[in-house]
Structure 1
Amino acid sequence: MTLDTAPPPTRTTAVAPVRSRPRRGPGRFGVHAFLMAVSLAFLAPLILAVYASLRPYEETSEHGYFSWPDNLSLDYYQQAFTDSGMTKYFVNTLIIAVPGVLLALFFASFVAFAVARLRLRGSIVLLMLFTAGNLLPQQVIVTPLYVLFNRIPLPYWMSDSMTMFDSYWAVVLVQTGFQIGFCVFVLANFMRTLPQEILEAAIVDGAGVWTQYWRVTLPLCRPALAALGTLQFTWMYNDFLWALVFISDGDKLPITSALNNLRGQFFTDYNLLAAGSVIVALPTLVVFLLLQRHFIAGLTLGSTKG
């Protein structure tokens, strides 16, 4: 009697496929070269301003701005900071920009929540109205606002002029009103991407409308709020029109007006003016670096959905 013995099974090891690295062709190299050229084109004015601010005006007037430097120093920065009185103007700008950003984000989040999460009738029309407000040229309403602010009374502790005109309140109000439309548009579209189940679970747990807004929805919008806050602070910080129209007292003007103090009546040292411009631009750069992670996250939200 013979027994048939089968050969023992052999173990086969699965070999993972080797992924070939994408080849970098001339097209990819061309894209990188184009992006580098565009970046340099945008950075060229800033680089030239920093370079000019480190050189004496006599040297640039003799050899030109694109010549090799003989002497580099930070004297112009110290002179620009002291001669223009930038400390006072920095404080004035913060008094205008910080409340303006907070009020714009706060009121815009209210409207965006009502439009995107509460399912109100006419929400699309309301969103279109807020968005269309950004299409109105600001210069069109300069004269009506000037007349209106001169007729709105305020107590003395709020305004030295006893009116809305020549006060920080006028600039903050205009900045907030003009920026709310853009913030509503961005926040409403972001809130629509949030899972509806989170809000439904909060309703089941007995959360009211304020709890749904403040404790459920708003914390999820932190990246979008950070991105908008960075943009809004940059825009309000760099604005010069509204402060020039609604503020007549030179001691209340924002930082953008401090550069005018560096201009002479008959002669302007443009190297000194370049140093002042670099100093004025530093706070916006610091804000962007501090909120860079949230800013980039806010810009890329929703890019992988769909």
Structure 2
Amino acid sequence: MSTADIVQRRPHRVRPARALLHAFLALVAVGWLIPLLLAVYASIRPYQETSERGYLSWPKHLTFHYYLQAWRDADLPHYYLNTLIIAVPAVLVTLFLASFVAFAISRFQLPGSKFLLVMFTAGNLLPPQAMLIPLYTIYLKIPLPEFLSASQTLYDSYLGVILIHVAFQTGFCVFVLRNYMQTVPKELTEAAIMDGAGVWRQYWGVILPLCRPALGALATLEFTWIYNDFLWALVLISTGDKMPITTAINNLQGQYFTDYNLIAAGSVLVALPTILVFLLLQKQFVAGLTLGSTKG
């Protein structure tokens, strides 16, 4: 028997620290999944059954009727479209601006670049609730063409909500992308300069393709955060038909009675797009989480 066979047959020892880490991660994952699983479980049970036997009882009847009712009564396709009109441009503009600023800060010796990075990062520390009244007042005074806003101001327009998301999310993206671009060898841009590449060519053709893991991770996070936003749309939009998907659940509440199983079905339908985005960008998201972990 060779030494290689002995090594292969030797049982793999699991260190106690690693076992505890895996147990902790599994416990955290279950804790995060419990609310979603309870919502799914409640959404496929009749309300009469849960009111009599409780939400944690064994089911007698399972039905998907609530999903059809929620889709119809809450007018979800219309609100999905409203959310996409806000979320998709906001994510694209945020990543473009943040990546260009991060490129300038990380690749060029700009005076005050570190101070600029600190200011971008510090902007994320401002509580949005403290800025509601000033922003509301400013939005009422900024004019817009009538085809962009019925009120002819930035208030009650998709553009106004997009701009506020871009303003609040750019700082975080600049911080992440700048740190990632710092790990890219500067010899690549120096070689591009020797070949006659300008600033735009260095950014678009050299650095940006190397930042796909970071951009994928940020796109997943930003879309989730903007998609789930309720505060800014509630404050800056007054027309009900322009509201995003997070407000559609209100359409399922009755004046004197609320079917919480129907609310659960609507909540699951509202959450599906973010789950789909994560599944589509899962590979880039995981790669983005470990960015720079193997760098010395």
TM-score bin, normalised by smaller chain: over 0.9
Q: Secondary structure at the match of 2:258?
A: coil
Q: Report what 1:37 is aligned to.
A: 27
Match of 2:7 among 7, 18, 21: 18
Match of 2:68 among 62, 78, 81: 78
Q: CA deviation at 1:245?
A: 0.4
Between the aligned partners of 1:60 and 1:93, the Cα distance in structure 2 is 32
Q: Report what 2:39 is aligned to.
A: 49
**Sequence identity of aligned pairs in percent?**
63
Q: Report what 1:122 is aligned to.
A: 112
After the TM superposition, which residues 1-306 of structure 1 pair with which residues of structure 2 at under 5 Å, given as runs? Answer: 18=7, 20-24=10-14, 27-306=17-296
Q: CA deviation at 1:21?
A: 4.3
Between the aligned partners of 1:134 and 1:105, the Cα distance in structure 2 is 16
Between the aligned partners of 2:163 and 2:243, the Cα distance in structure 1 is 16
Aligned length: 293
Deviations 1:227-280 (A, max 9, x none): 101100000000000000010000000000000001111111000000000000
Extract unaligned runs of 5+ from structure 2: none
Extract unaligned runs of 5+ from structure 1: 1-13
CA RMSD, 1 decimal: 1.4
Between the aligned partners of 2:270 and 2:116, the Cα distance in structure 1 is 38
Q: Secondary structure at the match of 2:7?
A: coil
Between the aligned partners of 1:165 and 1:79, the Cα distance in structure 2 is 33
TM-score by length of 2: 0.96
Between the aligned partners of 2:71 and 2:3, the Cα distance in structure 1 is 67
Q: CA deviation at 1:27?
A: 4.8
Deviations 1:175-203 (A, max 9, x none): 00000000000000000000111011001
Deviations 1:75-103 (A, max 9, x none): 00000010000111000000000000011
TM-score by length of 1: 0.93
Deviations 1:30-74 (A, max 9, x none): 433332222211111111000000000000000000100000010
Q: CA deviation at 1:155?
A: 0.8
Between the aligned partners of 2:155 and 2:28, the Cα distance in structure 1 is 43
- Cα distance, 1:165–1:219 mapped onto 2, change above 3 Å: same
- Cα distance, 1:295–1:28 mapped onto 2, change above 3 Å: closer
Between the aligned partners of 2:216 and 2:289, the Cα distance in structure 1 is 10
Between the aligned partners of 1:107 and 1:25, the Cα distance in structure 2 is 45
**Larger radius of gyration, structure 1 or 2?**
1
Between the aligned partners of 1:99 and 1:233, the Cα distance in structure 2 is 10
| Over 4 Å off, 4+ runs | 14-17, 25-28
